Amino acid sequence: MKTEEPRWLNADESATWLALFRMATRLPAALDADLQRHAELSFFEYQVLAGLSMQPERRMRMSILAEFSASSLSRLSHTARRLESKGWLQRTPDPTDGRYTLAILTDAGWEKVVATAPGHVAEVRRVLFDALTQAQFKQLRQISDRVNDAIGNDDCVGGHNAPNC
């Protein structure tokens, strides 16, 4: 039986892949360092709090929040424990289905997001949008959507308020 030869990347594809990989690694690290420095929050912790802040009644099932934050339920549970100890998050059984746990953003958590968001948005703008032209960031959105579509199963991450996650 003959095996198919891999479709190796050409020089342009390889350079693009490496540039994308470098950006995908460095961007979250830069945002994490900025949030740690200015808000004493990790990027992941901020994503969890911000995700809850965008939901009706500032609550979401932990399983959906894990999908939204592109995390395992185990990692999210450890983070939720830390956020609970700071008074920013509360977990409670879902009253509509006790098999699930709800994560709820507390008033103190809401205040933390409100205080942190302006600086975080300014840093996102500085490292991403200010570095691109209007046409480039529209292309980046289109490219990101196409890649996410190719990866598949992105209903929750792409639709932050998607009720069916």
Q: Tens digit of pLDDT for each residue in 44-89?
A: 999 999 999 999 899 999 999 999 999 999 999 999 999 999 999 9
Structure confidence at residue 155 (pLDDT): 55
Structure confidence at residue 141 (pLDDT): 96
154 confidence band (pLDDT: 50, 70, 90): low
Structure confidence at residue 153 (pLDDT): 73
What proportion of the chain, given as a percentage, has pLDDT over 70? 93
Instruction: Write down the mean pLDDT value for the chain.
Output: 92
Output the pTM of the full model. Answer: 0.84
DSSP string, 25-85: HHHHHHHHHHHHHHHS--HHHHHHHHHHHTSGGGEEEHHHHHHHTT--HHHHHHHHHHHHH
Asked if the model's pLDDT at residue 127 lies above 70, the reply is yes
Average pLDDT over residues 109-135: 97
Question: Does domain 30-152 match CATH 3.40.50.620?
Answer: no
| Rounded-to-integer distance, Cα 55 and Cα 18, Å | 36
Domain spans of the chain? 30-152
